Structure 1
Amino acid sequence: MDKIAQIKSFLESAPADSFLRHALALEYVKINDDAAARATFEALLAADPAYVGSYFHLGKVLERLGERDAAAATYEKGMDMARQQRDMHAYNELQAAHEDL
């Protein structure tokens, strides 16, 4: 069973598991399916906006899709969430990505 199928199988019993949803989106990134990655990251963040690790990856997907404004907004929202959680590592990573736009 490939990783995407395996993660989807796990999600059947735990559909709200943010870690699994993040892992699924990353698998889509690995196979260059940016549309599926975007949809998965966006659904994850809509359900769990505190899952800070997904903002960086969603921003990168949006950059690849040529959506610079959406990427910038994603990085900014991620920075806000990271600041609220006092996660300075994530904040700095998101800030660097935002500045590199």
Structure 2
Amino acid sequence: MNRIERIQQMLQASPQDNFLRHALALEYIKTGDDTEAEKLFKAILTECPDYVGSYYHLAKLLERNGNTQEAINWYEQGMQAAKKTNDMHAYNELQSAYEDLVY
């Protein structure tokens, strides 16, 4: 059983586990399935906007696929969420990636 299958199996028991969903999205990226990864990241952030770790990966995925404006929007939302949760490490990573893209 590969990693994706193992994570999917664990998600059957806990379908709303954001840690597992985030891990699955990262595995999809590794296999080149950006569409499924994007769906998962967006689902996580729609349902739990304070799950700060997913903003960076979603925005990077969008940036890599040429969706620059959407990536900028997600970086901005992520910076706001990071401020709200007082996660300055995540804020700095998001801000750096945002500035690299915008400037």
**Fold in common (TM above 0.5):** yes
Aligned-residue offset at 1:93:
0.1
Matching residue of 1:25: 25
Matching residue of 1:53: 53
> What is the distance in 2 between the residues matched to 1:99 and 1:32?
26
> What is the distance in 1 between the residues matched to 2:49 and 2:68?
20
**What aligned pairs does 1:8-87 form with structure 2 within 5 A after superposition?**
8-87=8-87
Aligned-residue offset at 1:51:
0.4
Deviation readout 1:27-61 (Å, 9 max, x if unpaired)? 01111111111011111111111100000000011
> What is the distance in 1 between the residues matched to 2:86 and 2:58?
21
Matching residue of 1:96: 96
Matching residue of 2:6: 6
SS in 2 for 1:70: helix
- Which runs of 5 or more structure 2 residues have no equivalent in the other structure? none
SS in 2 for 1:44: helix
Aligned-residue offset at 1:68:
0.3
What's the % identity of the aligned pairs? 54
Instruction: State the TM-score, normalizing by the size of structure 1.
Output: 0.98
SS in 2 for 1:49: coil
> What is the distance in 1 between the residues matched to 2:35 and 2:100?
23
> What is the distance in 2 between the residues matched to 1:33 and 1:15?
20
Q: How many residues in Structure 1 have an aligned counterpart in Structure 2?
A: 101
